Structure 1
Amino acid sequence: MDWALAAAGFGVGCVVGLTGMGGGALMTPILVLFFGVPPLAAVSSDLVASAVMKPVGSAVHIRRGRVDWRLVRWLCLGSVPAAFGGVIVAKALGNSAGVQEVVQIALGVALFLAVIGLLLRAVMRLREQAAEAKGLARKASDDVVPRVKVRPVPTLVLGALGGLVVGMTSVGSGSLIIVALLALYPMLRPNDLVGTDLVQAVPLVAAAALGHILFGDFQFNVTTALLVGSIPGVFLGAQISSRAPGALIRRALSIVLLASGMKLLGASNTFVLVGLFAAIVLASVGWMALRRFYGLTAIPRRTPTPSASPLPGVPATEQPQPASAGVRNG
């Protein structure tokens, strides 16, 4: 048992439990960059571990009725055979150093796409926040948005492309497909979008994992260490998710994925540092401009703590004051 690897799995599991994302996109580059696992073996072992963890989040959305099963069916018709086929293609190419390099480059590109997906999801949440601030958002009980009209062929193609990427890199079962779903179905309710994406990822990851067990470079000891750490990590992250600064964690996740993608593509340490600094500055300026565009303050303001309800039968001058009031009054 590699306890350092289990600790890494625990950390990634916590991130997945807190944010619902980042499993394959974070664990695979960690295996390659920090533990020296060959890229194909890292993809295989991570996919098998993800196949065990994915159904947990899906069950929650199924119970809440936040899954569009029509979209799930069409996505799976394309993604399941494509994911399995992606493993066979990788196996047919061989296990030489050249193939490992191709897999590593594909993984780096997939990480960049995952960062774009995270940014687009953040923009989607910002639009919802702006709508709520303007009083335009409706309560779930009053939601009368009609069901989206399914587009079978584009959805099937999306599933096939996403399955191929997942089968070869283990990245994209959530972060990439959800962005494409948003582009295909802009009227799909956010909760249904997330629930549908999580559920379709279960058979997709399972098919890719089975393919890697049969034809890939699956390493049982690596997967066991990942599961030993990641399962309690996911549980712990889910327990504290309501109190954790999720937005801050998502930003940190984007930075980690960006740095990992550059390293996998062969960038030097100096280039990675300069690139991260430029990305952080540009993203911060752009985000503040986007908030102003949607009618929000450039920097989020903390919501003031509501004052306590007045005590019945007690005069206003004798009502208890907030602790901060005494500080203001000197």
Structure 2
Amino acid sequence: MLKDLLKEPLAPWQNGSGDVSDIVLDSRIRVSRNLKKYVFPSKATDEELAAVLAEGERYLPSLNLLGHGTYEAVALTDLTPLEREVLAERHISSATQIKTPAQRGVMVRQDGAVSVLINEDDHFCIQTAAPGLQLEQVWDEASQIDDTLESKLNFAFRDDFGYLTASPSLTGTGLVAGVTLHLPGLVMMKRLNRIVQVITKLGFAICGLYSERNEYIGNLFQVTNQVTLGISEEDILKQMKKIVGQIVQEERNCRSLLWTHNQNAMKDRLFRNYGVLSQAWMMQLDEAVELLSDFRLAIDLGVIQERPQAYPALLTAAGPGYLQYQAGRELNGEELDLQRAQTLRQLLRTYAV
């Protein structure tokens, strides 16, 4: 089941549904929990890590009873290095977890929308995802899994602090909510910095998913909460939904202004970049991410007739882990650039309307 997920550029849950899905790509939840009787993974012995892994896998059948799909437990040592890289790129695992795969594992739901990381920074990290703006749905699913595991396991909790976590910044709810947004309008109109300043004061952060030398690549950003102590999960999600709604409206306004006042220039840019994306023989990752941003904007503006799901599929396919996994071996820089361009050309034809 897991290996089938890794082969495809889109997971079943990435169907383009959800509110404001033209701007909000996905909503995600991470919930960190630890067992009271063991030290945190970074300080634990192999025997303690093995015990935590066994406890998690023992209760996998309880997750199947939730009725949203079946789960598979996978030890990271049973995967190849290339498979682990794709696991991290697809956010089913994490770069932190795959660095030391011994006595670490994941429990993955068949649609790829839910995974439970065992022995990452914390003993358990529950991850849920959904397309578009669906914070309530991802929280409900994470909460159900959390309640199911907590009914079987003794999680570390104190009345005065809440849930105890390896990182003090997560102590309390142990919750990190994230919403991924595509914001080319705000970037082109140079209005993003003002939004960053405002939401930072409200206890939230916005960071670029792809960045280099303090420059944002591909206009992809994630809004996350920075406060987990002294506030309820419901309040975090309520505030985040309000903030995201305001960002979406600002982005719509910027796109409208750009299109109204610079329609010919916008069409020229979008068609030119689509030509490069669809015809290039070699392509580096940063260039691909930038071109894909204009590709998605062109779809949203009705300039190019492609299915919106092509965008997340192409983003996945541009990743070095995915490309090497498909090739079945490690690729050097030039081989990666050749393979990336070829894969993007093929997928553009696959998702054409």
Give the TM-score range, shorter chain. Answer: under 0.3
Structure with more helix by fraction: 1
Structure with more strand by fraction: 2
Larger Rg: 1
| Alignment TM-score, normalising by the size of structure 1 | 0.28
The structure with higher relative contact order (CA 8 Å, sep 6+) is 1
